[in-house]
């Protein structure tokens, strides 16, 4: 029972580079989310997907795109990374009571 | 979207009961109250959820007064391993969609 799996765990990008953060869940949850957490701060919602085939913006969507590939997978893409996107990114899923979070991707943009 | 207010930090000693209160004056009729725990370098972990009165599980208790404008997470007999950040969230029962995480309460348990 892996729960929510995120890859990679760590990544360093140069300004302007692009990359995709991967997330997969094996709990058959309908809803999936991407959050970012800056040092000493709470989590801020970037995008969410209420169900397969749908996505919607959260609090801080600028500079990101998402794809709900199927029910299991929800990816987050940075098209042109900026230092302000240095953060820890968490993927989560939910069905019923509460979220289940992945272990995070620590991204540094230099 | 209901906004929550929690203390920024709390200190306690091993073996004590810790109560963390969260204010949510604008809670909606359909909203549930959910608490999460987060350790450094990990994602938040669900602790407990309630709608009204009292809910208890093997980890914690959640007390919600009749007006539901606040809630209190109670951790019995804390240990050093309970040192973490605790988040109070208010939203629909799935805990999802646009539920907002605040800055949380940093609990530090001392020996």
What does the pLDDT look like over B27-78, one tens digit per residue?
Answer: 989 889 999 999 988 999 999 999 999 999 999 999 999 999 999 999 999 9
Q: What pLDDT, on the 0 to 100 scale, is given for residue A15?
A: 98
Question: Does B91 score more than 90 pLDDT?
Answer: no
Question: Does A110 score more than 90 pLDDT?
Answer: yes
pLDDT band of residue B102 (cuts 50, 70, 90) is: confident
Chain A segment 15-74 residues within 8 A of B by beta carbon are 31, 33, 35, 40-45, 48, 50, 58-59
Asked whether the beta carbons of residue B34 and residue A35 sit closer than 8 angstroms, the reply is no
| Distance of residue B32 Cα from the nearest chain A Cα, in angstroms | 10
Asked whether the beta carbons of residue B103 and residue A95 sit closer than 8 angstroms, the reply is no
pLDDT band of residue A95 (cuts 50, 70, 90) is: confident
How many contacts, defined by CB atoms under 8 Å, are there between A and B?
67
Asked whether the beta carbons of residue B43 and residue A90 sit closer than 8 angstroms, the reply is yes
B61 forms beta bridges with: B56, B74
pLDDT band of residue B3 (cuts 50, 70, 90) is: confident
**Closest CB to A48 among B97, B100, B103:** B97
Q: What pLDDT, on the 0 to 100 scale, is given for residue A72?
A: 96
- Residues whose CB is less than 8 angstroms from the CB of residue A33 and which lie 6 or more positions away in sequence, other chains included: A45, A47, A48, A49, A58, A74, A91, A92, A93, A94, A99, B96
CA distances from B99 to A53, A66, A87, B33, B87 (A): 21, 19, 20, 11, 12
Question: Does B86 score more than 70 pLDDT?
Answer: yes
On average, the pLDDT of chain B sits at 91
Helix, strand, coil distribution of chain A in percent, nearest 5: 5, 55, 45
Q: What pLDDT, on the 0 to 100 scale, is given for residue B19?
A: 98
Q: What pLDDT, on the 0 to 100 scale, is given for residue B2?
A: 62
Q: Is B86 on the interface with A (CB under 8 A)?
A: no
pLDDT digits (tens, 9 = 90+) for A13-38: 999 999 999 999 999 999 999 999 99
Question: Does A40 score more than 70 pLDDT?
Answer: yes
Question: Does A86 score more than 60 pLDDT?
Answer: yes
Q: For residue B88, which phi and psi values (nearest 5 degrees)?
A: -105, 125
| Distance of residue A16 Cα from the nearest chain B Cα, in angstroms | 26
Asked whether the beta carbons of residue B43 and residue A103 sit closer than 8 angstroms, the reply is yes
Q: What pLDDT, on the 0 to 100 scale, is given for residue B94?
A: 63
Which residues of chain A have a CB within 8 Å of the CB of B93?
A: 96-97
Contact between B78 and B109 (Cβ < 8 Å)? yes
Cα distance between residue B66 and residue B60, in whole Å = 20
Q: Is B39 on the interface with A (CB under 8 A)?
A: no
* Residue whose structure tokens are 């950040």: B85
């Amino acid at each position: 029972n892996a729960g929510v799996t995120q890859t990679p765990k760590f990544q360093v990008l140069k300004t302007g580079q692009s990359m995709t953060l991967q997330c997969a869940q094996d709990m058959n949850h309908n809803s999936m989310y991407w959050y970012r957490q800056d040092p000493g701060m709470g989590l801020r919602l970037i995008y969410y997907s209420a169900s397969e085939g749908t996505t919607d913006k959260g609090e801080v969507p600028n500079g990101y795109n998402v794809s709900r590939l199927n029910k299991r997978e929800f990816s987050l893409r940075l098209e042109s990374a900026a230092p302000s996107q240095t953060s820890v990114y968490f993927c989560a899923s939910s069905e019923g009571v509460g979220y289940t979070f992945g272990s995070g991707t620590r991204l540094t943009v230099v | 979207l209901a906004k929550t207010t929690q203390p920024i930090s709390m200190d306690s000693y091993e073996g004590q009961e810790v109560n963390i209160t969260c204010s949510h004056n604008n809670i909606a009729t359909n909203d549930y109250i959910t608490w999460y725990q987060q350790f450094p370098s990990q994602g938040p972990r669900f602790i407990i959820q309630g709608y009204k009165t009292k809910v208890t599980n093997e980890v914690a208790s959640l007390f919600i007064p009749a007006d539901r404008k606040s809630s209190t997470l109670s951790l019995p007999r804390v240990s050093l391993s309970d040192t973490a950040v605790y988040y109070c969230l208010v939203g629909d029962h799935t805990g999802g969609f646009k539920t907002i995480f605040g800055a949380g309460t940093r609990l530090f348990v001392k020996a």
